[in-house]
Amino acid sequence: MYVDLNDTKLTPGMRRQMPLTAGPVTQIRVGQFTRTQARVVLDLTEPAPYTVEAQREPFRILLRVWKPTGRASDEPRFVDNGDGTIADGHTGLMWEKKDDAGSMHDMDNLYAWTGSCTEPPYDFCQPSAEAAAVCTAQTGGAYGCEECSSGTCELLEGAGTIWEWLVQLNAEGGTGFAGYRDWRLPEVNRDGGAMELDSLVDLSQASAPHTFDEFKTACTPACVVTDSHCSCTAAADHWSATTGASFRGFAWGVHFRYRDVYVYDSVQTNGHHVRAVRGGL
């Protein structure tokens, strides 16, 4: 499959070929097709109808590729389900909404990926067996998922770890948030992760947070997630479940304030925002 971008000139130092390890695309190649048109060639894992969305920035080209989920082409991509969740018709994912009511869904809440053990060997840790189990189950046992072998697990930032919060989310109301118990942390398209949290970035937005309107509608003080007119996103960094392959103790996240570098890695003990997802994978 190829995509032609009009009024586009590639810089001499731009990376022209990129192998990928997740999603339907295995490799991307780009070249100057005409004087004013660049062509992006996508190698796909299987023949099927795909939808491609392209956005251009001064120093990069952002492509999103997905299989349609059977929804009519004139239906909106995002649908507020009225129960505190938003359905994505392109990816099939269901997202937790955020509010400004001081609840566990408040957009301003901060959580660390891990804590830090107070005694040698001072490893990163989870403060409870439940959080350790959830972290291990989703990440396959990434660094920072275990409890301390000695001492206690101390939080340096945030109200808890993202995995403690996820345990509470899946137990909310006795049946799990919105009636589901399979909420998890989204991944990002780095180090083998899937494009999930980064699929919520909308670079066409003129102001932060750079996400789609359905995730930042009528966000007023005390509004709650079950109000279909209320949807919030902090213009700040959000954790993913994807850990950094190059640096131990780092994890990937998405920053919804900046348009130039919005996928970043951070030390796991830092306090950042979080949004849960279900489905996919």
Per-residue pLDDT tens digits for 88-101: 998 899 999 999 99
Spatial contact of 54 and 62, defined as CB atoms under 8 Å apart = yes
Q: What is the pLDDT of residue 192?
A: 86
List, for residues 127-160, the tens digit of each pLDDT value.
Answer: 999 999 999 999 999 999 999 999 999 998 888 9
124: enclosing H helix or E strand: strand 124-125
The residue among 59, 1, 58, 46 whose CA lies nearest residue 28 is 1
Q: What is the pLDDT of residue 19?
A: 58
Is residue 38 pLDDT above 60, yes or no?
yes
Decide: helix, strand or coil at residue 215. helix
* pLDDT beyond 60 at 65: yes
Residue 107 near residue 274, CB atoms below 8 Å: no
Domain ranges in the chain are: 2-66, 78-278
pLDDT of residue 135: 98
pLDDT of amino acid 21:
52
User: What residues contact 239, with CB distance under 8 A and at least 6 apart?
Assistant: 111, 113, 162, 185, 251, 253, 272, 273, 274
88 and 77 Cβ atoms separated by less than 8 Å = yes
What are the respective helix, strand and coil percentages of the chain, to the nearest 5?
10, 30, 55
The band of 69, judged by pLDDT with boundaries at 50, 70 and 90, is: low
pTM of the model: 0.79
Is the confidence at residue 22, as pLDDT, over 60?
no
**Separation of alpha carbons 238 and 91, rounded Å:** 20
Measured between alpha carbons, how far is residue 66 from residues 53, 54, 91, 139, 184 in Å? 9, 12, 7, 23, 21
* pLDDT band at 49; cut points 50, 70, 90: low
Q: Give the per-residue pLDDT at 245.
A: 77
**pLDDT per position as a tens digit, 196-228:** 999 999 988 889 999 999 999 999 999 999 998
Share of the chain above pLDDT 90, in %: 60
Cα separation, 201 vs 203, whole angstroms: 6
According to the model, what pLDDT value does residue 244 have?
Answer: 86
pLDDT tens-place string over residues 162-198: 999 999 999 999 999 999 999 999 999 888 888 899 9
138 CB neighbour count, 10 Å cutoff: 17
Q: How many CB atoms lie within 10 A of CB 145?
A: 24
